[in-house]
Structure 1
């Protein structure tokens, strides 16, 4: 872990990149990393700088490494994958500078503000994700170092083979929660199937790794023209492509089965239409021969269930208690893991 930089040290490092702090931005976007908003010297362009010191050290360096490999995909003519441009990546000094994108909001905020779930947004997201997975599979040599992206703290494995240090950090509610999952034989079979799938390198692709509504930025170019920018690549790794889909769709499924707020309520027909459009666009962007067959769809369902379980674990960790809503989500998640064949037509209809 790097020692936190003093203001003078940070300013000196920024100057080396041709940047100065922008005093007009006092509240940069929320981030688990230390960030500052800067301007290019003698210019108006803004840059968001992530700083690798303290707990954010590994994440910033990992994200910079991933973006160096992935960003060229966004520069291909008519590429559907949009990424923040890397202004500078200085791993020696722990700085990652990304373009500041104006006129934006995350999909999390867009859906809750507008109450809209446009098929066009679903298609944009699915098309870009299918393109990422296809391109990484076609250029495996370029991503051969993807093992460095793997996260040893993968919570999937904690459900199956819990490490002593992880167990020691669990709250009482967390211990009870993990025990309830591990007592469900069908759910555990589903989790084990996903773990096994992760090892099938021939079927894997480079994943975003943390694909959620909050990591997708809706950019308004004109009143009728928008694009979706993929953010926060620090958890990217080589794995089961269905995992990215399940991770994102879990956010939408949560709005159907257990919304926390009125603005999050998502009717099942709306969920079905959105998920259907996303998956169809995803399949169309994948390589020739790819099929959204029953096996793949059931893996997506199981990854949705896994993501929901991870959300419940988060509640147990931060709240030290699981209320009726959280326990209900856990039950639904175990059903998805144990009986995945029953869910595709419910969640996205016939493909």
Structure 2
């Protein structure tokens, strides 16, 4: 038992488990991505690749599901299941799982960058990237929906129950739907409670969130955390979204990491969460402050809605073109996609309250305004 990994023992752990050598580690770039979950990214030199080191802290393993173990089982299952050819291409290379210390380590080639950094560096939004993402999600959902074996495997982790795990903070569901556990009071910033109070007072918003949480569909394998920081694309995609100098299967042009929240769930959630990423770029380009009117903030956006909107439309169209049957047995699919995008904005704001409370305070008004439009008037957005 080594306890929690830290700057002091991380490299020794990797060397002792033959996952890297001292020379490569000395020339590497180390980044701690999440202080709460102990997620490390190590970029090794000489194009060796990126190592992702995840650990469930020991103080959080009491009376809760170990998502690290679940994620390892998912990766292991998908990597050996030949029937899920497309889906197996989406996961990273698994190097190591340490059940005793709750550590999972996987690898991606240096040729992959996050979709978040890709867009930040270019500051342009290619329809081709959006089409690739929409196509990838559609294939993931369609392929797994028709797999009874996959259904049995995924639901096994929920004790044979279809327990859909929404990728939103537990206290959001607790606050809006049922009573609060006392420990929630200690881990939630005061400003977040004030924001949740605004949601609680808006009957329409509260009703729709309840509907999304309590009456979602259970149709296929869903990632449930499709954020741009969890999506990696190959560098061969140039600034015009072309597959420059890349000869391998397009299946490997895109990878998803952090599958620990996956479930047999609602495909509209994945597509909606992807749309949220585009809205975040638009909203974060605005000058926001609680003293600035919403209309003025929208006018001051350096990335206008008209810039990201074509990508959103292209992604939805690409998804439906690959998986048109979804509209037959899930008639409210496109409506739900937009509503999940709105719920994704609320979740993003709640995360900001945890990590950057002052930024969240400035974003609160505009984020809630747009989220409310998406939740309560999805048809209006779809008609644009």
Q: Please classify the TM superposition score into its range, dividing by the shorter chain length.
A: 0.7 to 0.9
Worse-matched range after superposition: 169-178 or 204-213? 169-178
CA contact (8 A) 2:42 2:52 kept: yes
Contact 1:133-1:205 within 8 A present in 2 as well: yes
- Alpha-carbon distance in 1 for matches of 2:198, 2:256: 35
Counterpart in the other structure of 2:3: 3
Kindly indicate whether residue 336 of structure 2 is the aligned counterpart of residue 276 of structure 1. no
User: Could you state the TM-score of these two structures normalised by the residue count of structure 1?
Assistant: 0.80
Over 3 Å counting, the alpha-carbon distance change for 1:71 and 1:126 in structure 2 is farther
Instruction: After TM superposition, give the deviation of residue 178 of structure 1 in Å.
Output: 0.8
Q: For residues 332 and 222 of structure 1, what CA distance do their matches in structure 2 show?
A: 31
CA offset digits 1:12-67 (Å, max 9, x no partner): 6754456435324442354322547598xxx9955625253526874433322221
Q: What are the equivalent positions in structure 2 for 1:263-342 lying under 5 Å apart?
A: 265-286=302-323, 289-291=325-327, 295-321=332-358, 322-342=360-380
Match of 1:71 in 2: 79
Q: Is the 8 A contact 2:56 2:103 kept in 1?
A: no
Unaligned runs of 5+ in 2: 239-243, 247-252, 289-300
* Match in the other structure for 1:234: 260
The match for 2:30 is 28
In structure 2, how many angstroms separate the alpha carbons of the residues matched to 1:183 and 1:270? 33
Q: 1:154 to 1:280 in 2, by over 3 A?
A: farther
Structure 1 equivalent of residue 55 of structure 2: 52
Cα distance in structure 1, aligned partners of 2:286 and 2:78: 35
> Residues 119 and 299 from structure 1, CA distance in 2 versus in 1: closer, same or farther, beyond 3 angstroms?
same
Count of equivalent residues: 338
SS at match of 1:83: coil
User: Is the contact made by 2:41 and 2:51 (CA closer than 8 Å) also made in structure 1?
Assistant: yes
CA distance in 1, matches of 2:177, 2:280: 24
Out of 169, 191, 207, the residue aligned to residue 189 of structure 1 is 207
Q: Which of 204, 218, 222 is the equivalent residue of 1:207?
A: 222
CA distance in 2, matches of 1:270, 1:173: 32
Q: Contact (CA 8 Å) 1:88, 1:96: kept in 2 or not?
A: yes
Q: What is the 5 A alignment of 1:74-93?
A: 81-93=89-101
Q: Could you tell me how far 1:242 is from its partner in structure 2?
A: 0.7
User: Does the residue aligned with 2:306 lie in a helix, a strand or coil?
Assistant: helix
Q: Does 1:144 align with 2:151?
A: no
How far the C-alpha of 1:279 sits from its partner, in A, is 1.3
Give the conservation status (yes or no) of the 8 Å contact 1:215–1:231: yes
- C-alpha contact (below 8 Å) 1:35/1:49 kept by paired residues: yes
Q: CA deviation at 1:2?
A: 7.3
With over 3 angstroms needed to count, the CA separation of the structure-2 counterparts of 1:24 and 1:261, relative to structure 1, is farther
Is the contact made by 1:3 and 1:53 (CA closer than 8 Å) also made in structure 2?
A: no
Further displaced range: 205-214 or 91-100: 91-100
- SS class of match (1:291): helix
For structure 1, the 5+ residue unaligned runs are: 347-351
Matched, 1:128 2:157: no
Deviations 1:201-243 (A, max 9, x none): 3xx3221121111111121248615622212212222221111
Q: Equivalent residue of 1:343, what SS?
A: helix
Question: Does structure 2 retain, via aligned residues, the 8 Å contact 1:84–1:101?
Answer: no
Conserved in 1, the CA contact under 8 Å of 2:346 and 2:371? yes
Equivalent in the alignment of 1:164 = 181
Q: Secondary structure at the match of 1:68?
A: helix
Residue 102 of structure 1 deviates from its aligned partner by 1.1
CA distance in 2 between partners of 1:216 and 1:191 (Å): 26
**Cα distance, 1:141 vs structure 2:** 2.5
Tell me the secondary structure at the aligned position of residue 207 of structure 2. Answer: helix
Aligned 1:38-49 pairs, distance under 5 A? 45-46=48-49, 48=51
Q: Does 1:100 align with 2:108?
A: yes
